[in-house]
Amino acid sequence: MEETTYKSISPSDFFYRNREIAGFSNPSRAMYSAIRELVENSLDACEIRGVPPDIYIRIREVSETGSGTSIYALRVEDNGTGVPPEHIPRCFGQVLYGSKYILKQSRGTFGLGGTITILYGQITTHKPVRVTSSTGGDIHEYEMMIDIVHNKPIILSHRVRANKAGWRGTAVELYLEGDYSRSMYRIYEYLKQTAMVNPYAEITFIDPRGRLYRFERVTEEMPPPPRAVKPHPQGADVETYRRLIAITGEKTMKGFMTRHFQGVGPATAEKFLQEAGIDPGKNPKSLSPDELVKLVRAAREFNGFQRPDPSCLSPIGEHLLEMGIRKELGLTDEDFLKVVQRRPSTYLGYPFIVEAAIAYGKTIERRLGRGIKIYRFANRIPLLFDESSGVVWKVVHKIINWGTYKVSPDSPMVVVVHVCSTKIPYKTVGKEYMADQPEVEREITNALRSIARHLRLYISRRIRLARERRRLSIFEKYLPKIAEFSAKLCDREKPPDIKPLLKAVSLEVSEAESPLREVPELEEEA
């Protein structure tokens, strides 16, 4: 029999041992994940500040390490809020420390932020990270490493510089082992799709081969930022109720429900507590464990609550999404593009909003080829992996009968779906695709069907237009001849005036070319 050794490991150590959880499973995937983590932090920082993001990304190859991998220097800079100097070391050098542990929509996968990227850089290159940041005052520059065993930052240097230019933002510069050539395509796709849903962002990317990619800002307009909200009584679990009871100053259950949950007025609280079989006058701190569990279960079943407050969500908006798609796909007025935003809905007590778009036409055929291409977003993050396992693919390829809308499988078409929620229904731990939660699936389906009805009209009119044009060109070709022969036949010298006739035909064509009529909204299919 062997001795058993018991010990505790730090969260840093856990993620060091299980870094694939955060997407750092190999040099190619790690390169992609590093950029994604830092860019998403930067976008969030700019949106919190309320300024259109200027993101600058540069990857420089430092040395080759063999079998396709190299050491790269990665720099990501933004003009966001900046991090207060006293928080910089822990924000970037301590796993599970940050600003995202509150209830509102934010980017990022597990709230591990950039720390996991810095950790990966450190264990592959053993070089420190340099973080430069200003919240408007002095510029603070830290060189740091992470003490993985104790999950705390080791500060190697801290310099303070005067901020004459009034710069605000954060720049992170680190070294990591990566594989650019194998991750290149995904990094480009990630940035392009990010630009599509953030048309107010200017993203500059200089790749290791010195190529510059610029995703330009086309508007200064930004969607309203998400607000932190109280939990909804239906989406909260036993632990959430317990934590609220621990901190509440309320002396009655009625007061407790009204104070700490969204959309619960005194009347609703009273009705709910009666249905749950709990005295509204009871002190929340005196609830027994069984009563607490009963309360949570009753909340799930109770129908009288308001729908979850969607103000913690930050959809892109039809106007901005349209601008972003038009820009990144390079659409012209000839192409079809229609964007819809659905009303807020909920699943299992979590609010969500679906936004969707379809683009169709010659430009897409020229740039992306024929066939239906899907772009998926969750909380404004592009999802690039496992497309065919997700709910969007299911709706597009299994549920919607495109024939109804005159679309064939090789039509040049792009489908865009954005789901925003305080809890995206990811299907697996990797968080690369969304599950087919019935409510979410229904919203996506209805969004795409309502657009597809417009598309059918567009396609019908394109078909009619083509037919009319063909007819007109025949008339134009033969009418003069016919007029001439007819004139000769009846011995007239001058053929009849064919202009009025041709004009009548042209009228039909120009009508077909007039702007799209709005399609009346039909009753939605369930």
Q: Please answer whether residues 516 and 454 qualify as being in contact, where contact means their C-beta atoms are separated by less than 8 angstroms.
A: yes
Element (H, E) at 510: helix 499-513
- Asked if 252 interacts with a copy of itself (CB under 8 A), we say no
CB of 239 to a copy of itself, least distance (A): 4
Interface mask (CB under 8 A) for a copy of itself, residues 363-402, using x and -? Answer: ----------------------------------------
- Asked if 91 interacts with a copy of itself (CB under 8 A), we say yes
- Asked if 137 interacts with a copy of itself (CB under 8 A), we say no
Residue 246 sits at φ, ψ, to 5 deg, of: -65, -30
**CA dist., res. 352 & res. 346, Å (int):** 6
Whose tokens are 């913690």? That residue is 312
CB of 5 or CB of 514, closer to a copy of itself: 5
- Please select the residue that binds a copy of itself; options are 49, 140, 254, 449, rule is CB under 8 A: 49
- Asked if 238 interacts with a copy of itself (CB under 8 A), we say yes
Residue 147 sits at φ, ψ, to 5 deg, of: -85, 95
CB atoms within 10 A of CB 194: 24
373, 401, 409, 411, 457 from 406: Cα distances, Å = 17, 10, 10, 9, 9
- Asked if 98 interacts with a copy of itself (CB under 8 A), we say yes
Among positions 189-228, residues that touch a copy of itself (CB under 8 A) are 225, 227-228
- Asked if 110 interacts with a copy of itself (CB under 8 A), we say yes
**CA dist., res. 291 & res. 414, Å (int):** 52
CB of 101 or CB of 491, closer to a copy of itself: 101
CB of 11 to a copy of itself, least distance (A): 5
- Please select the residue that binds a copy of itself; options are 32, 97, 215, 272, rule is CB under 8 A: 97
- Asked if 305 interacts with a copy of itself (CB under 8 A), we say no
Whose tokens are 């955060």? That residue is 22
CB atoms within 10 A of CB 185: 11
Residue (of 23, 4, 2) closest to 430 by Cα position: 23
CB of 13 or CB of 270, closer to a copy of itself: 13
| Pairing verdict, β 412-421 and 371-378 | parallel
CB of 242 to a copy of itself, least distance (A): 7
Among positions 445-504, residues that touch a copy of itself (CB under 8 A) are none
Element (H, E) at 336: strand 336-341
Q: Please answer whether residues 313 and 330 qualify as being in contact, where contact means their C-beta atoms are separated by less than 8 angstroms.
A: no
- Please select the residue that binds a copy of itself; options are 371, 426, 475, 496, rule is CB under 8 A: 426
- Asked if 303 interacts with a copy of itself (CB under 8 A), we say no
- Asked if 277 interacts with a copy of itself (CB under 8 A), we say no
18-41 in b/e form (b: 16+ CB < 10 A) is ebebbbbeebbbbbbbbbbbbbbb
The DSSP 8-state label assigned to residue 175 in this structure reads E
**CA dist., res. 54 & res. 217, Å (int):** 9
CB of 30 to a copy of itself, least distance (A): 13
- Asked if 14 interacts with a copy of itself (CB under 8 A), we say yes
CB atoms within 10 A of CB 350: 20
Task: State both tokens at 21.
Answer: 């959880």
- Asked if 156 interacts with a copy of itself (CB under 8 A), we say no
99, 149, 323, 372 from 472: Cα distances, Å = 65, 79, 36, 33
Q: Which stretch binds a copy of itself (CB under 8 A): 265-273, 421-429, 438-446, 513-521?
A: 421-429
CB of 151 or CB of 363, closer to a copy of itself: 151
DSSP string across 230-248:
PPPTTT--HHHHHHHHHH-
- Asked if 65 interacts with a copy of itself (CB under 8 A), we say yes
**CA dist., res. 526 & res. 515, Å (int):** 30
- Asked if 161 interacts with a copy of itself (CB under 8 A), we say no
- Which residues are CB-contacts of 438 (< 8 A; sequence separation ≥ 6)? 347
CB of 199 to a copy of itself, least distance (A): 21
Q: Which stretch binds a copy of itself (CB under 8 A): 64-72, 312-320, 355-363, 372-380?
A: 64-72
CB of 301 or CB of 497, closer to a copy of itself: 301
- Asked if 149 interacts with a copy of itself (CB under 8 A), we say yes
CB of 186 to a copy of itself, least distance (A): 16
Among positive and negative, which fits the CA dihedral 212, 216, 220, 223? negative
CB of 215 to a copy of itself, least distance (A): 24
CB of 63 or CB of 514, closer to a copy of itself: 63
- Please select the residue that binds a copy of itself; options are 99, 163, 219, 248, rule is CB under 8 A: 99
Task: State both tokens at 265.
Answer: 């007025």
Residues near a copy of itself, by CB under 8 A: 1-2, 4-11, 13-14, 16-18, 20-21, 48-50, 65-66, 71, 81, 84, 87, 90-91, 94, 96-99, 101-102, 110-111, 122-127, 148-149, 225, 227-228, 237-239, 242-243, 289, 292-293, 297, 300-301, 426, 428-430
